[in-house]
């Protein structure tokens, strides 16, 4: 090191400057490489926002001294990886990005004297904006647009119109909405607008596909809830059958599938049934009416028909006083005999009428059938051959006998809730299973593995820095060091003669003198030199 410093001090100013510049460049490259390799990694905090939201986000980041970068042509904002979630929460608390949606804050700055039409438009815009924000909070939805068609209210019922709504959702790349989410969006819109029915809400995605077909009231197809109910019921039956048969035949030796027919109709039925009349002695009497009348069988009325003969009979009179001077058995006796004879001449007749009403045997039956009842069950079961050993003790398989198949069928019927009156069916098939080769799962290529990609980036940074340092060493540092460490040459001896510039000519060695003489001869007489060379070639 002391020798190197001494030689450096003996160098000229230009060499010192050049060497200092080379060392400074190497140090700068190493510093840049170190900072680059140790610098923070940036991740996306927000992307695909409009210019207005982008400017607001950048202003907030600069105000809070948060480092950021712009990527993808300014459509993405990146911040250090350790600040992504913190920054995102801070911006969300400030309502950024707003996404261009205007909510009910639009009504906070109403100007005095605006017309009723402007107020209605602003209210509709605010309602649409609030609905858009709510829809965008659903997982998988990147953006949303809501269009409400709210007709003007009318005092005439026949002129009243129902409001309608159209929703356009922009889904994230590779994401889809299931029918539960679509139904949730439709119910959200319908519940937020008065008198808006589900059938008047249309939901589309960015590809123009209509997602709300199943929500229409006139649809004859099963909706997602009904399909899921059928699927869950079938899976439950299959799992119960396999769980009860697996201990008998062994693991992976039974397969079952179930088909369930569900009645999703909701019906009500009322029946009024009348039974045949019962015997009087056992029937219940509802009402009884008896009528009895006594009338004389003859009449003393006579004469010519007319007004005179149709007179009522005179009142009967009897003497108040009777005399006893009549002989016994005289007038009085005669009167009694006459009365008895009259009574004998006019006999009496009796009429009796009886009316009996019995209770009617009637049955009123009201039946209400709820939706979701099972109409029919069909189950198919496949059982592998049973494990066994042959006469030599080697493991083998054998088919199931009839008793074993019947046992499996009985267990399956009990597990599935078999109902013969409903038309349920069970089929059990015994056959040897064909071994299925498991498909080789292709591993993710090395160049697509995110871990390997990140590792390759880090290694690439290190290799690139080493290459830069190596090139600078070979092209700049090494020549400089070689020049500094080269041994000093002995001072040359000079002749008394001077060259054309007036500087003394250094003395030549014998070899240098001979070489110089030959060069001069070749210039003056090249033919002689050619003959000499030709002679050398010929002698060789």
Tens of pLDDT, residue by residue over 110-139, are 777 788 888 888 888 888 888 988 898 888
More confident residue, 381 or 42: 381
pLDDT over 70 (residue 502): no
Helix axes 224-249, 179-192, angle to 10 degrees: 150
User: What percent of the chain shows pLDDT beyond 90?
Assistant: 16
Instruction: Say whether both 112 and 209 belong to one domain.
Output: yes
Specify the CATH number for the domain of residue 205: 3.30.300.30
Same domain, 70 and 29: no
Q: How far apart are CA 440 and CA 534, in angstroms?
A: 79
Give how many domains the chain has, as a whole number.
Answer: 4
Residue 265: which H helix or E strand, with range? Answer: none
Q: Is the pLDDT confidence value at 279 over 90?
A: no
Lowest average pLDDT, out of 152-156, 239-243, 463-467, goes to 152-156
Looking at residue 233, its pLDDT comes to 92
**Which residues neighbour 347 within 8 Å (Cβ) at sequence distance 6 or greater?**
296, 297, 298
Q: Is residue 66 part of a domain?
A: yes
* Residue 73's CATH number: 3.30.70
Residue 342 or 277, more confident: 277
Domain membership of residue 199 (yes or no) is yes
Q: Taking phi first (over 0 means left), then psi (-120 to 50 degrees means alpha), and beta for anything else, what does residue 200 get?
A: alpha
Same domain, 180 and 197: yes
Residues 175, 162, single domain; the answer is yes
Buried b (16+ CB within 10 A) or exposed e, 170-205: ebeeeeebebebbbebbebbbebbeebeebbbbbeb
CA-based max dimension of the chain: 234
The answer to whether 334 and 322 are in contact (CB under 8 A) is no
What stretches of 40-95 adopt beta strand conformation (E)? 42-47, 69-71, 76-80
Q: Which of 420, 429, 423, 438 is nearest to 256 (CA)?
A: 429
Model confidence over 384-432: pLDDT tens digits? 998 888 888 788 888 999 999 999 999 999 999 999 999 999 999 999 9
Residue 439 makes CB contacts below 8 A (sequence gap 6+) with none
Nearest to 342 by CA among 295, 294, 302, 299: 299
Q: What is the pLDDT of residue 189?
A: 92
Q: Higher model confidence: residue 143 or residue 6?
A: 143
**Residue 46 and residue 22 in one domain:** no
Structure tokens at 26: 């190497």
| Structural contact between residues 170 and 209, judged by C-beta atoms closer than 8 angstroms | no
In our burial notation (b when 16+ CB lie closer than 10 A, e otherwise), range 486-498 reads eeeeeeeeeeeee
133 with 155, same domain: the answer is yes
Rounded mean pLDDT, 326-334: 42
Cβ distance 88 to 45 under 8 Å? yes
Based on the fold, state whether residues 54 and 24 are members of the same structural domain. Answer: no
Residues 50 and 28 in one domain: no
Residues 159 and 151: beta-carbon distance below 8 Å? no
Is pLDDT of 539 > 80? no
Q: Could you tell me if residue 492 is inside a domain?
A: no
Same domain, 117 and 196: yes
Residue 66 carries which DSSP code? -
Contact 172, 144 (CB under 8 A): no
Q: Tell me, yes or no, whether 65 lies in a domain.
A: yes
Out of 122-126, 127-131, 502-506, 532-536, pick the least confident. Answer: 502-506
Which region among 173-182, 394-403, 505-514 has the lowest average model confidence (pLDDT)?
505-514
Region 522-528: mean pLDDT is 79
pLDDT of residue 361: 77
Q: Quick one: what percent of the chain has pLDDT higher than 70?
A: 73
| Domain end residue (candidates: 50, 73, 94) | 94
Residue pLDDT, tens place only, 8-64: 565 556 666 666 777 777 777 777 767 666 666 788 888 777 777 888 888 889 998
* Interval 176-195 mean pLDDT: 89
**77 in the same domain as 22:** no
Cα–Cα distance, 48 to 489 (Å, whole number): 71
**Planar angle of CA 173, 179, 184, nearest 5 degrees:** 95
On whether residue 354 sits in a domain, the answer given is: no
- Per the model's pLDDT, the better-predicted residue between 449 and 217 turns out to be 449
- Identify the pLDDT of residue 333: 41
Name the pLDDT band for 322 (thresholds 50, 70, 90): very low
The average pLDDT across 309-320 equals 53
pLDDT band at 328 (very low <50, low <70, confident <90, very high): very low
Top mean pLDDT of 295-304, 305-314, 325-334, 376-385 is at 376-385
Cα 107 from Cα 110, distance rounded (Å): 6
Cβ contact 380:257 at 8 Å: yes
Question: Do you know the residue count of the chain?
Answer: 540
* Mean pLDDT on 181-191: 90
Q: How far is CA 33 from the centre of its chain?
A: 47
Q: What is the pLDDT of residue 407?
A: 93
Q: How far apart are CA 151 and CA 161, in angstroms?
A: 6
pTM: 0.40
What is the predicted pLDDT for the residue at 308?
A: 52
pLDDT over threshold 80, residue 250:
yes
CA distance 442 to 246: 32
The tens digit of pLDDT for each residue in 333-348 reads: 444 444 444 445 566 7
* Better pLDDT: 342 or 376: 376
Q: What is the pLDDT of residues 283-308, one digit of tens each?
A: 777 888 888 888 776 555 555 555 55
Per the structure block, which two tokens stand in for 321? Answer: 């006083």
For the chain, give the mean pLDDT: 77
The answer to whether residue 540 scores a pLDDT higher than 70 is: no
In a domain, 233, yes or no: no
In a domain, 184, yes or no: yes
> Which residue did the predictor score with more confidence, 241 or 14?
241
> Residues 353-371: what's their mean pLDDT?
81
Residue 231 has pLDDT above 70, yes or no: yes
Domain that holds residue 19: 1-37
150 contacts: CB under 8 Å, gap ≥ 6: 124, 163, 193
Q: Contact 179/191 with Cβ under 8 angstroms?
A: no
Eight-state DSSP code of residue 49: -
In this predicted structure, what is the pLDDT of residue 350? 80
Does 252 map to a domain?
no
Q: Are residues 155 and 200 both part of a single domain?
A: yes
Q: Are residues 76 and 154 in the same domain?
A: no
């Amino acid at each position: 090191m002391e020798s190197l410093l001494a030689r450096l001090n003996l160098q000229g100013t230009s060499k010192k400057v050049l060497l200092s510049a080379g060392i400074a460049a190497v140090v700068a490259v190493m510093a840049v490489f170190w900072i680059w390799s140790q610098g923070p990694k940036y991740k996306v905090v927000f992307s695909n926002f409009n210019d207005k939201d982008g400017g607001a986000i950048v202003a907030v980041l600069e105000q809070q001294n948060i480092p950021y970068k712009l990527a993808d042509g300014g459509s993405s904002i990146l911040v250090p990886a350790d600040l992504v979630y913190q920054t995102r929460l801070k911006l969300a608390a400030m309502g950024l990005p707003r996404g261009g949606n205007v909510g009910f804050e639009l009504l906070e700055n109403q100007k005095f004297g605006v017309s009723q039409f402007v107020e209605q438009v602003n209210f509709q815009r605010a309602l649409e904006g609030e609905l858009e924000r709510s829809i965008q909070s659903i997982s998988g939805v990147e953006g949303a647009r809501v269009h409400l068609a709210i007709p003007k209210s009318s005092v005439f019922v026949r002129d009243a119109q129902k409001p309608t709504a159209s929703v356009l959702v922009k889904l994230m790349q590779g994401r889809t909405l299931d029918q539960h989410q679509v139904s949730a969006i439709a119910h959200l819109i319908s519940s937020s607008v008065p008198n808006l029915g589900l059938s008047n809400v249309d939901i589309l995605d960015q590809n123009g596909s209509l997602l709300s077909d199943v929500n229409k009231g006139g649809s004859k197809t099963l909706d997602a809830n009904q399909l899921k109910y059928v699927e869950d019921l079938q899976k439950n039956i299959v799992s119960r059958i396999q769980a009860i048969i697996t201990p008998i035949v062994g693991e992976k030796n039974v397969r079952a599938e179930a088909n369930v027919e569900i009645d999703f109709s909701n019906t009500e039925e009322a029946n009024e049934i009348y039974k045949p009349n019962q015997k009087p002695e056992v029937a219940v009497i509802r009402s009884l009416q008896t009528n009895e009348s006594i009338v004389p069988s003859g009449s003393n009325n006579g004469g010519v028909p007319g007004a005179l003969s149709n007179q009522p009979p005179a009142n009967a009179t009897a003497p108040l006083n009777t005399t006893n001077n009549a002989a016994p058995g005289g007038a009085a006796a005669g009167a009694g005999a006459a009365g008895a004879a009259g009574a004998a001449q006019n006999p009496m007749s009796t009429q009796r009428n009886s009316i009996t009403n019995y209770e009617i045997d009637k049955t009123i039956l009201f039946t209400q059938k709820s939706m979701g009842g099972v109409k029919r069950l069909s189950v198919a079961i496949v059982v592998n051959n049973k494990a066994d050993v042959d006469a030599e003790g080697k493991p083998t398989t054998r088919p199931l006998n009839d008793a074993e198949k019947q046992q499996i069928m009985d267990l399956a019927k009990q597990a599935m809730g078999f109902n013969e009156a409903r038309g349920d069916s069970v089929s059990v098939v015994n056959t040897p299973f064909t071994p299925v080769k498991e498909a080789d799962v292709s591993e993710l290529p090395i160049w697509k593995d995110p871990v390997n990609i990140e590792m390759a980036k880090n290694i690439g940074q290190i290799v690139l820095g080493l290459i830069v340092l190596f090139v600078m060493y070979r092209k700049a540092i090494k020549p400089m060091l070689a020049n500094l460490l080269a041994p000093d040459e002995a001072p040359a001896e000079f002749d008394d003669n001077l060259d054309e510039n007036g500087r003394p000519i250094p003395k030549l060695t014998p070899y240098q003198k001979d070489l110089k003489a030959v060069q001069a001869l070749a210039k003056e007489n090249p033919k002689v030199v050619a003959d000499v060379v030709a002679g050398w070639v010929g002698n060789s």
